[in-house]
Structure 1
Amino acid sequence: MMTRKSIAQAANELVLQFSQVGPLDNPAMESLVTRTQEKLAARQIAPQNIIKKFVKISYALILQEKIKINDETFQVLKEMEKLARERSFLPFRRYDPWN
């Protein structure tokens, strides 16, 4: 189990890493990355939920629009899936990753 701060930090790092290695030539994928970064910066929703939705939508975009991804991008998506399933020490408390 990870702390809430480490989950939030890992989510920000993974989205940044995806934006560097991912297929951003597609405008839909680029807007998805920017919306995800905005939601993570707002800190209103748990990062696990944001990353879970990001992975689901990105896989749908890859399949529907036949976007080709490299192995490094696929590994980043797999790490995001693991982070989406991660739980913090106290999941029943109000979410604030910086406390």
Structure 2
Amino acid sequence: MAKQTPETLELADGTVSLYRNVMLMDGTPEFGVADRMIVQHLGNEQDVVVMADESGHRTVKRTVPQIQLQTSPVGTTSGSGYSLADLDAKTQERLLVIYKLFQKKKP
């Protein structure tokens, strides 16, 4: 599968990249699809996913990098991945406003 080129928005104080229809995996099985949004703002970066439930209500979750460390037995591989963390209502609202700017951008 080809790597997806993100949609981008230039804001007055940052840049936002949006990757649409990203598969969320839990081990091997897919458990959902979301849009991944990376907000670079004044030297900081927020990596979040925007998900919609069955009714279309959108929620935003922060991605949290995780790494698995194993001390023994020697020679086994360790892995990494992401988990999703809740955001406070004010942060979610701000990120959803940014997300909606992509809808307005479409022709």
| Normalised TM-score (structure 1) | 0.32
| Structure with greater proportional strand content | 2
Higher relative contact order (CA 8 A, sep 6+): 1
Give 1 or 2 for the bigger CA radius of gyration.
Answer: 2
